[in-house]
Every structure is written in structure tokens, then in C-alpha cells.
Structure 1
């Protein structure tokens, strides 16, 4: 296992993503952050806290469970549905920022787009990820990336958040396939 992003680097990447979101959207008035559970929701909460600190006002943020929209649902063991929480202003005519921890094949984001489509019609949909590891199977590209980390398809990216794991870190592990 090798450490790809220690806690200080992870914090800087999250701060940079927060600033880039604000710059691209001319502030926070038109944006809604939606984290994809589990770790994408924690990343979204951190980005929301950064944006609120920068802007001095709350930002619309929530979570978007994609479990029932996955195309590999039958191939995985059953898992509990996570809550979808849509903020009070909803998604209609908003700039939605989908947030996930790792972008790999693109299938999770495709499922998120399907789930979002059932809720409403946003003005735009943007994507923020902490790590982009490549190996896309669908034509999906992140708008905001904390770190591009080229990997082999068998390697595993492990993202840890203090809230869940007691430590902030991104590590790269050798997988077996």
C-alpha cells in the first residue's frame, strides 16, 4: 500500500475544488452540491463547509443515492439504500455539482445522472471527484479533480475520511484479479 494523498494534501485538494466550483459558477447562489453516498457524501459536506466559509453563507447541499440505478445491481450483494436528501431549493434550474470520492469506470456517475433525472431537470450538471483514476468505460469526465492518479485496473484506491475511518488519506493498494 502506498499513500497517494496524505491528510494535508487531501485538505488542499478539497479547498482547491471548492474555489474552482465558486469561480466557475460565479459564487454559490445558483449551485446545489449532491454527494453520492458513502464517501462522496462526506466529501460534499467538506466542500460545502469550505464554500460556506469562503462565501459567508450556507450553500445548498444534500445526498443522492444511486443504488437502484446501478447497472450492476444483480451482480453485487444486496446493500441498504442510503438516504437521498434534496435541499429546499430542489434541483430545477440549479447548477448541480455531483460529488464522489473516486471516478473510475463512469458507471456510478451514469447511475447518478439517471437518479437525478427522476428528481428534476437541473440547469447544468457538473462533476467533482477527489481522485480520477482513469479506465473510463463511459464518456464521462470530471469538471473538478483533486488528483489524477493513473492506476492499473486491478489496483484499488482507498479513500478514508476522519468521520468514518479516523484518518484522512487516499492510498493505493495492489488488488488481485
Structure 2
């Protein structure tokens, strides 16, 4: 397995700061905005961004977790059933601006499923997508992120490995891994 470093800890910190600044520029005081992290790996990035935004803006911003497992179009096609994770949205999203957060944008299918799952909690005024890594040239559905940490040219035979301290890793690092 060959690994190529995409972002080290320092560059990742700068990238997250830039993403937060873009959110502040677009959402102002966040009075009508909520942040929802995608289960399972997007929640860690959502928590990091949420903490930094609250520190920088000194505002309370609602944070939730969304699992879209049962809304996936491949849910019943898998040999081994997908394991569902916790959905925790203890606030109303009706009429709110939702920032959906995930670590990697690949085919777009998970985001499509997430939008279906969100409807159970109300109809948002707007949904924006924030991803740490946008895997270019791999989209199967017309999904594009509003906020991108880094766009990476990838092959379908490669995968992006996000290692965050919040997940128990020693350092924050993002790798491009060739499947051999």
C-alpha cells in the first residue's frame, strides 16, 4: 500500500481556519445557521469546525450528527449490511441554513442520501456542503461542495485516508492511498 501525504497537521490547521473564515463571511452571526456532521467520519471535522466557529464568533451554533445509512441507494445491495450510526439533531432545521459537513466528497451518493435523510427534520431554507477533500473526476451524481479544503485529482483505484486526532490518531494527516 503506497501512501502520499496530501495535508500534514500544519496545512490542515490552515485549511480548517480558511474554511471557518469562509463560513463566517457567508453566515455572519450564524443566527439562522446550523451545522450537521455526516456520520461516521464527517462528525469529527464538524466538531472541529463547530468549536473553532464558536470560539471565533462567540455565538452558540447548533451542531448535529446525521446518519444516512438507510437512505443510501446501495443499502440493500451490499453483501454485508451497513451498520447505522447515531443521528442526533435536537433542533429544528425548518427554514434554517444547513451546513452539511463531511470529510471526503467522492461519488456524491452519500450526500444525496443525506439530503433525503434531512427532510425528516424539516425543510431547510438552504443546504450548503463543506468537505475537507473533494475527489475530482469521481462524481457519479451532480453534487458539488460550496466549501472545499482541498481538491485532489484521484483515480477510482485510490482512496483518501483522513486521520484526525479526534479519531484517536497521533497527528492530523490526510493521505492519498493506492490500493495495491
TM-score by length of 1: 0.94
Tell me the residue number matched to 2:25.
Answer: 23
Once the two structures are superposed, the pairs formed by residues 134-153 of structure 1 within 5 Å of their partners are 134=136, 135-153=138-156
| Bigger strand share | 2
For the pair 1:4 / 2:6, whether they are aligned, the reply is yes
Tell me the residue number matched to 1:84.
Answer: 87
CA distance in 2, matches of 1:126, 1:87: 19
Tell me the residue number matched to 2:96.
Answer: 94
Mark the CA change 1:170 to 1:143 in structure 2 (over 3 Å): closer, same or farther. Answer: same
1:57 Cα deviation after fit:
2.1
How many residue pairs get aligned? The number is 175
CA distance in 1, matches of 2:76, 2:60: 39
Instruction: Decide which moves more: 154-163 or 123-132.
Output: 154-163
Tell me the residue number matched to 1:156.
Answer: 159
CA distance in 2, matches of 1:15, 1:37: 22
Contact kept, 8 Å, 1:28 with 1:51, in 2: the verdict is: no
For structure 2, the residue ranges without an aligned partner over 5 or more in a row are none
CA distance in 1, matches of 2:90, 2:55: 19
Tell me the residue number matched to 2:118.
Answer: 116
1:140 Cα deviation after fit:
0.6
1:95 Cα deviation after fit:
0.3
CA distance in 2, matches of 1:140, 1:37: 18
Contact kept, 8 Å, 2:37 with 2:66, in 1: the verdict is: yes
Contact kept, 8 Å, 2:75 with 2:82, in 1: the verdict is: no
SS of residue paired to 2:63: strand
Output one character per residue of 1:15-54: Cα deviation in whole Å (capped at 9) or x when no partner: 1111111211223111100000121001000110010011
CA distance in 2, matches of 1:84, 1:172: 29
Contact kept, 8 Å, 2:160 with 2:175, in 1: the verdict is: yes
Tell me the residue number matched to 1:46.
Answer: 48
1:87 Cα deviation after fit:
3.5
CA RMSD for the aligned pairs?
1.2
Tell me the residue number matched to 2:176.
Answer: 172
